[in-house]
Amino acid sequence: MSQNIESKVVVITGASSGIGESTARHLASLGAKVVLGARRTEKLERITQEIRDGGGQAEFLTTDVTVASDLKALVEKAIATFGQVDVIINNAGLMAIAPMSETKTDEWDRMIDINIKGFLYGIAAALPIFEKQGSGHFVNISSVAGVKVFSPGGTVYSGTKFAVRAISEGLRHEVSGKIRTTTIEPGAVDSELKHGSSHQDSSDFVKDFYQIAIPSDSVARAIAYAIEQPADVDINEIVLRPTVQD
Ligand code: NDP
């Protein structure tokens, strides 16, 4: 158990795999009450049950982050189940890598919808609650690709992750005082994310590059570190990557 995590109610998007799943399991093991959102209901059901079987407290709601009302419902589910929301982790994401010349506009749209609009809808759902409570914590998952443009191939993905970082920083300025904002910028992490590309050469590149990937637990621990700080300490940004990653 961790004193500043125990009993906190933490909403996590993209909690059906990878970083979101690891974070839900890790925070629950430290005593948080976790509320999982994603589209794959069966995966959420299984992870939630396993957390409960291990003595943790968890709830889930099938959530598509591209639908603003789904995020509102997820936050409302957390309040109905556990009485409040202390942290929202805006984590759901898609990485569809391809050179710009492929003009994969459908994939650009999907990345913008999930990575930017989905993240904004998470803010819109939680901010009124945080303001009413007089406390809260946004943990927003950007990327090393939100610090340095990951090209060729990752230009649009990087654009979405730069947007997450920029909006998080603006949000921090607007709400600082009682509400904390943390941006997490991971490097290569082993998860399903690497399968998001429909462009064969880019997919092969990602598969090769991700041989150095670190486990998603590494990011879960970084998130826990930000949450467990006392209320007067806001960890603004954490960049973490495999030691061997440039
Ligand atoms: P995964 O692909 O394993 O996880 C992505 C999660 O997002 C899944 O749970 C998926 O669930 C969810 N998701 C995707 N689309 C939607 C949607 N429309 N509505 C709700 N949930 C959705 O990858 P990661 O765990 O690696 O990715 C998590 C975050 O970390 C992403 O934002 C990613 O960009 C970021 N990141 C990852 C890095 C890496 O190397 N893996 C590095 C840097 C950042 P479902 O399909 O069930 O909806």
How much distance in Å is there from the Cα of 3 to the middle of ligand 1? 28
From first to last of the 246 residues of the chain, give the pLDDT tens digit: 677 999 999 999 999 999 999 999 999 999 999 999 999 999 999 999 999 999 999 999 999 999 999 999 999 999 999 999 999 999 999 999 999 999 999 999 999 999 999 999 999 999 999 999 999 999 999 999 999 998 889 999 999 999 999 999 999 999 989 999 999 999 999 999 999 999 999 999 999 999 999 999 999 999 999 999 999 999 999 999 999 998
| Residue 157 annotated in active site | yes
CA distances for 25 relative to 39, 143, 167, 220, angstroms: 18, 21, 27, 9
Ligand 1 pocket by Cβ (under 6 Å): 13-20, 38-40, 43, 63-66, 91-95, 114, 118, 141, 143, 186, 188-189, 191-193, 216
Q: What is residue 152's predicted lDDT score, i.e. its pLDDT?
A: 82
CA 176 to centroid of ligand 1, rounded, Å: 27
In the set 121, 157, 210, 225, the catalytic residue is: 157
Distance 17 CA to ligand 1 centre (A): 7
Q: Which residue, 14, 25, 19, 87, is CA-closest to 58?
A: 25
Helices (H), 63-150: 68-82, 105-111, 118-133
C-alpha 114 to ligand 1 mean position (Å): 9
Task: Using most ligand atoms within 8 A of CB, pick from 95, 142, 184, 245 the residue to mutate for ligand 1.
Answer: 95
Sole residue written with tokens 């960049």: 239
pLDDT of residue 3: 77
pTM above 0.90, yes or no: yes
Superfamily of domain 9-231: NAD(P)-binding Rossmann-like Domain (3.40.50.720)
Which protein residue has the closest C-alpha to ligand 1 atom 32?
93
Tell me, what's the pLDDT at 188? 97
Q: So what's the ipTM on this one?
A: 0.99
Best residue among 183, 191, 240 to mutate for probing ligand 1, ranked by most atoms within 8 Å of CB: 191
Domain ranges of the chain: 9-231
For 52, how many CA atoms within 13 A lie in the half-sphere containing its CB? 11
